[in-house]
Amino acid sequence: MPKVTIIGGSVIDLFLYPHHHMNLHDSNPGYLKKSLGGVGRNIAENLSRLGIETTLITPLGQDHYQKMILDQADMIGLTIRPIPIKETPLYVSVMDEQGEDLIGVAVMDDIEKMTKEDILVYKNDIDQADILVMDTNLSLEVITYFLQAYHDKVYIDAISGQKAIKLHQVLRYIHTLKLNLIEAKTLAGFNDEVKVDLEQLGHYFLNQGTKEIYLTLGEKGAYHFTQQKTLHKKAIKTKIIGATGAGDAFFAGVIYAAVLQKEGLSYGLVNAYLNLMDPHAVNPLLTSEILEKTLKELSL
């Protein structure tokens, strides 16, 4: 069976909600919701639920959050290769009374502090993988090393405009790159206010040597660019229950399709659609059967 290895972060998401109107610069009564997150971990969970043999190399703190992550991984058949750190990374978000994100703080420095020596303890898992997935939370040194060593099989999630800048000098080593419009424009050197031709934008990355690009556009769908073709598909309309993790679900759908040698754009859009219909970062009901059935029903 094909294997995927992911190098990335596992994060505990803490969401703080007020009971009533939020008063700034004051103490507000409220409640807490915890969930598992992190781009690397979210992609890994999606793939495991879809039946792909998946290994996640990730920093884990010596704390009680470690058990939450490992227990859930055991439940879904995800193999975790931990890199010990003091505290598991956190994302803390304070919500307003409408449930909108008021402010968030990401405590994730330890992900970027991982060295290639830390990761190479698990070199066998990397060597045996058919696809190696990384994100830009990792340091430039780590990204560059693994891109140069495994450039024929590395898939990268750009994550954010500022973090995507790390990829500027290594685009020629990337097999498949997933970005949204802001990330793509930032990495290509365009001002966010400037309108760009999307096909030209996609071909900018192809011209830099990246083999495949997935450009996501939210409600406007997504593009898949290769030297042989340009493919665009519309987003699937649905009532959004939760948008957290939708981009990770899209990329997991792309990777799932690549493993099975299927058309990635359709699988990415359908997996994101299934994610948007659930409040969790990863839809806990996700299976390959549900994904395939939904894709067939939507005629994608």
Q: What are phi and psi of 160, to 5 degrees?
A: -155, 160
Bin 202: left if φ > 0, else alpha if -120 < ψ < 50, else beta. Answer: alpha
**pLDDT tens digit sequence for 15-43:** 898 999 888 889 999 999 888 999 999 99
Is the residue at 238 inside a domain?
A: yes
Query: What's the confidence (pLDDT) of residue 241?
Result: 80
Confidence at residue 96, expressed as pLDDT on a 0 to 100 scale = 83
pLDDT of residue 114: 92
Confirm whether 263 is domain-assigned: yes
The residue behind tokens 């781009």 is 39
Q: Is the pLDDT of residue 1 over 90?
A: no
pLDDT reported for residue 98:
77
Q: What pLDDT shows up at residue 190?
A: 83
pLDDT tens digits along 181-226: 999 999 998 876 778 899 999 999 999 999 999 999 988 999 999 9
Nearest-10 Cα torsion for 45, 46, 50, 52: -60
Contact residues for 299 (Cβ-Cβ < 8 A; gap 6+): none
Mean pLDDT for the chain overall:
93
- What pLDDT shows up at residue 39? 94
Residue 17 domain flag: no
Instruction: Compute the distance between CA of residue 296 and CA of residue 300 in angstroms, rounded to an integer.
Output: 7
| 34 is a domain residue | no
230-249 pLDDT tens trace = 999 998 988 878 777 889 99
pLDDT, tens digit (0-9, with 9 covering 90-100), for 246-269: 899 999 999 999 999 999 999 999
- Report d(CA 20, CA 96) in Å as an integer: 9
Q: For the segment 67-106, what is each residue's pLDDT rounded down to a tens digit?
A: 999 999 999 999 999 999 988 999 898 988 877 778 888 8
Mean pLDDT of 105-119: 91
**Residue 95 included in any domain:** no
Assign residue 148 the CATH number of its domain.
3.40.1190.20
Beta bridge partners of 18: 30
Overall number of domains in the chain: 1
Report if residue 8 sits inside a domain.
Answer: no
Spell out the residues 6+ positions from residue 243 whose beta carbon is closer than 8 angstroms to its own: 276
Cα separations (Å) of 250 from 161, 199, 221?
A: 18, 20, 11
Establish if 21 belongs to a structural domain: no
Question: Beta-carbon neighbour count of residue 47 at 10 Å?
Answer: 28
Domain range enclosing 74: 40-89+108-297
d(CA 236, CA 176): 23
Whether 207 is in a domain gets the answer yes
